Amino acid sequence: MTDAVDIKALGKVAVLMGGSSAEREISLLSGNGVLAALRSQGVDAQAFDPAERDLVELRREGFARCFIALHGRHGEDGTVQGALELLGVPYTGSGVLASAIAIDKVMTKRVWLAEGLPTPRYVSLARDAQADRTRVRGVPDELGLPLIVKPPHEGSSIGVTKVMGYSQMQDAVALAARYDAEVLCEEFIEGDEVTCPVLGAGESAIALPVIRIVAPGGAYDYQNKYFTDAVNYLVPCGLPAAEEREIQRIVVAAYRALGCRGWGRADLMVRAADRKPFLLEMNTSPGMTGHSLVPMSARAAGISYEQLCLRLVQDAALDG
């Protein structure tokens, strides 16, 4: 794959990392990994932290394209993408609209449900509803227990609670509300946790191998995701071939429904009772750290970390 990439034609590449979101720490890990990989292939790549420098400098300094290694708000929510559109600097990953929808888990669900794609039942609580103790306490009556409470605009398991009983609802909502004006309460799907990356755009988008995630006590949280080796990532996933193909089919359909391009990674639960997959979210700027899942899946498909970075930066584009 590296042979097909004209390194010189890529020009000067800015690796956008850091930023101002709650996921800054992870973004710096991702960005430095990408930076090292691109440089190892002879690319003129440089680090660029939008929290410390004005994006206008990208034009001034002659950057030909950007690798977006930002996570969370002001990174994968369409805002940076919009600024790069105005500057005319091509970038990796999804465009403005797809990024803005995918960062919002409630809007994402609405699109998927309209397309007939499976996602867990949910209740969205605006600020006034969060202050209504009767409303909050009544959510389990609609969704059952256990259930998941989370901020719909954050990633990396930040602000997420698995609620086991009515008495936990107020604290769970209060925690999520620290990160978001809106709070998402979601039906808990008991079963296998899986993730599946996608590369490409439109009809040419393809799913990479599915990864099954086995966390200690089911606690696939921020700490276990990034800073321990307690989680087992199974790729090949060990699921029946037909089941893996169905997950891949649904993920590509979900990716296309949102209008994603470049790359992305969908997280799903496969319900133990009937083996039905349910879409949880679409990440449009997935992690590229040592613990990250897209590189792991790509490696299983015969694509090295360096090849993946080159492919993504070569596919950098503008919406127009």
Residue 140: CA count within 13 A, CB half-sphere: 16
Residue 73's SS3 state is: coil
Active site residues per annotation? 23, 156, 226, 265, 267, 281, 283, 287
Among 264, 212, 266, 216, CA closest to 240: 212
Among 15, 93, 26, CA closest to 285: 93
Residue 92's SS3 state is: coil
DSSP bridge partners of 199: 206, 263
* Length of the chain, in residues: 320
Q: What is the dihedral of CA 210, 211, 212, 216, to 10 degrees?
A: -160
How far is 201 from 130, CA to CA, in rounded Å? 38
Among 88, 82, 86, 85, CA closest to 100: 82
Task: Tell me how far the alpha carbon of residue 85 is from its chain's centroid.
Answer: 21
How far is 159 from 149, CA to CA, in rounded Å? 8
